[in-house]
Amino acid sequence: MGKWFRIIGGFINMRRSRELSFEAYGMSKLVKWGLLAVLAIAVIIKVSLWLSVRSIMNDTAARLSPIMEVSYEGITSSLDGRVGLTGLDVKIPAIGDRIKVEQAELKFKSLLELLRFRESLGQGKVPEQLAMAFKGIKLDIHGPLMEVLSQQPAERSIYTAMSQVACGDSTSIDADDLLNMGYRSLESDAEFSYTYQPAAQSLIFSLTADARGMGRYKVSMGLANMSDKPGDLRVNPPRLSTITVEVDDNEYQRKVHAYCAAKMGQDEKTYLDTAVGKLDASLKSQRVALDDKVLQAMKAYYQDPRSLRLELRPTEGVHWNGLEFFDAADVIDMLRPVLLINQQAVDVSFAWFNPSTGNPVEEENALVPAAIVEQNARGPQYDFVPVSSLSSHAGKRLQFITYDGAYYQGILHKVQGNKVFLTVQFGSGSAEMFLSLNKIDKVRVLR
């Protein structure tokens, strides 16, 4: 009996081991086919991305063919949300020049973000995230494109005034100066990116550039009240909430100062005074006189241009084309600048300057016409009115006093939603602006 029990037990054990081997074999086949399926899906996605990029680039090249020739060597794609081009070459036959880019790449946080990007474009909405990276941008200094750019007359403004230099008979650095300074080509890596938050209706934009032999530059901007539908931006444009400009390791500034000092036959110390004097004179020609402590800070930066950072946080309702109608102190309060030079904070202040007389403009309310000043000299000529009754005073000249102590004066245009629209006047000029109702403390009607 014991023998038969051992035979039956061995048979049962053999059957169980065979069943287990079948199960293991089935599991291995499942894993194998699962991996093959994942690999197949990955290949399909990469091929789809490759074909999509090729289709887009061919369509773009066809559309741009009347003005430029666009070609590339290859297409790159990855499953982590990146697609790009290698060996990008843009020729401009009209001027006989070209721009070369070693690699241009669209970057997303993940493949899912890339698919959402395509979906948002199809729905006509602003995608939530986008980043474009360019490596190895190259432009010849002596090429026709640089000559065309240097010959374009820049409109005189406070921005062009800050870029002017004291360099003998030149007020700006052109292509010949760059060649004399040792630059043969402009080479840079750059990246453009933005992040959009639909719930908060805010967009953060950033542009960085690392120019070889020049420095690192970054411009970032924040927009509030940003709709996800581009068609709504005309009716309800976004508001600029922050703007930041950063320059690090400004090797270009060092070379400009050394080159221009030698060109003018001045030593380093003398040229620093010349450069600061040129900055002061250029800004005064645009009616802006910087405070002496700001000029001294800029002189220290010219001597050692390690880092410069300027941030503006404009208040709601700022009209950029009408800043000259306000007192300098009010402009500072509206723009709220933060300036860091070589990691040291600098208190920004300025005064309005009259180029025709060569004297600073007296600090007074630049919005009040002379006729109203004469009326105020004869006695009070205004009546306070409730903020809730503003809509009934359309077309009248009003003065608004906000809770933070700032005042604005102009002709009321309309009250719409939570905003008051008015026209401010100064001499023969005028500008449009708006204020938020919840920021207005007092209103008076001028007579």
If DSSP codes are grouped into helix, strand and coil, which group holds residue 40? Answer: helix
Note the pLDDT tens digit of each residue in 248-263.
878 999 999 999 999 9
32 or 305: which leads in pLDDT? 305
Residue 138 CB-density burial (10 A; 0-12 exposed, 13-18 middle, 19+ buried): middle
Instruction: Give a yes or no: residue 432 inside a domain.
Output: yes
Q: In the chain, helix, strand, coil percent, each to 5?
A: 40, 35, 25
Distances (CA, A) of 412 to 244, 401, 433: 33, 14, 10
Measured distance CA(285)–CA(281) in Å, rounded: 6
Specify the pTM. 0.69
Cα(94)–Cα(66) distance, integer angstroms:
10
Specify the long-range contacts of residues 85-90, CB closer than 8 Å, at least 24 apart: 85/53, 85/57
Identify whether 439 is part of a domain: yes
In whole angstroms, give the CA distance from residue 323 to residue 330.
Answer: 9
Stretch 18-29: mean pLDDT, rounded?
A: 51
pLDDT score for 378:
44
The pLDDT assigned to 219 comes to 94
Residue 396 in any domain: the answer is: yes
Phi, then psi, of 245 in degrees rounded to 5: -120, 125
Among all chains, which residue has been given the structure tokens 């953060």? 204
Q: What is the DSSP letter of 167?
A: B
Distance of CA 331 to the CA centre of its chain: 21
Residue 338: CB atoms within 10 Å: 15
Q: How confident is the model at residue 243 (pLDDT cuts 50, 70, 90)?
A: very high
14 three-state secondary structure: helix
Instruction: Kindly report which listed range (193-202, 219-228, 290-299, 387-396) carries the lowest average pLDDT score.
Output: 387-396
27-36, 50-59, 79-88, range with greatest mean pLDDT: 79-88
Hey, which of 105-114, 236-245, 385-394 has the most confident mean pLDDT?
A: 236-245
Higher pLDDT, 188 or 428: 188
Domain count, the chain: 1
Residue-by-residue DSSP string for 81-139: TEEEEEEEEEEETTTTEEEEEEEEEEE-SSHHHHHHHHHHHHTT---SEEEEEEEEEEE
Average pLDDT of the residues of the chain: 78
Is 90 exceeded by the pLDDT of residue 338?
yes
Amino acid at 254: R
Distances in whole angstroms, Cα of residue 169 to Cα of each of 181, 240, 269, 286? 16, 38, 20, 21
Tell me how far apart the alpha carbons of residues 204 and 196 are, in angstroms, rounded to a whole number.
Answer: 7
Residue whose entry in the numeric block shows the structure tokens 């014991």: 2
| Euclidean distance between CA atoms 334 and 159, whole angstroms | 19
- Region 314-320: mean pLDDT is 76
Which pLDDT belongs to residue 365?
Answer: 40
Task: Judge contact between 194 and 223, C-beta under 8 A.
Answer: no
pLDDT band at residue 11 using 50, 70 and 90 as cut-offs:
very low
Give CA separation, 129 vs 14, 229, 275, in Å. Answer: 61, 15, 42
**How confident is the model at residue 221, as a pLDDT?**
94
93: in domain: no
Residues 93-138: tens digit of each pLDDT: 887 888 899 998 888 777 777 777 767 767 777 778 888 899 999 9
pLDDT at 13 over 70: no
Q: How far apart are CA 216 and CA 190, in angstroms?
A: 10
**Does a structural domain hold residue 321?**
no
Other beta carbons less than 10 A from residue 333's beta carbon: 15
Residue at 429 is within a domain: yes
pLDDT by residue (tens digit) across 145-193?
Answer: 877 776 655 566 777 777 888 888 888 888 888 888 888 888 999 999 9
Q: How far is CA 291 from CA 274, 282, 298, in A?
A: 17, 14, 11
Is residue 283 a contact partner of residue 290, using CB atoms and an 8 Å limit? yes
Task: Tell me the sheet residues that pair with 416.
Answer: 419
Residue 427 lies in a domain: yes
pLDDT-based confidence at residue 2 (cuts at 50, 70, 90): low
Radius of gyration of the chain (CA): 32
- Average of pLDDT values for 392-396? 81
Residue 306, Cα to own-chain centre: how many angstroms? 22
Per-residue pLDDT at 327 exceeds 50: yes
Residue 66 · residue 93 · CB < 8 Å = no
Looking at residue 370, its pLDDT comes to 40
pLDDT of residue 329: 85
The reported pLDDT for the residue numbered 311 is 95
Give the range of the structural domain holding residue 392, as residue numbers without chain letter.
370-446
Q: What is the CATH number of the domain that holds 441?
A: 2.30.30.100
pLDDT of residue 408: 75
| Cβ–Cβ < 8 Å for 394, 412 | yes
Helix (H, G, I), strand (E, B) or coil at 68: coil
Structure tokens at 285: 């020609």
Is 371 a residue whose pLDDT tops 50?
no
414 inside domain: yes
Structure tokens belonging to residue 238: 């976004």
Q: Is the pLDDT of residue 366 over 50?
A: no
The predicted model gives 236-253 an average pLDDT of 88
- How does residue 364 score in pLDDT terms, banded at 50, 70 and 90? very low
Higher pLDDT pick, 215 / 356 = 215
Phi, psi for 230 (deg, rounded to 5): -55, -30
Model confidence band, residue 20 (pLDDT cutoffs 50, 70, 90)? very low
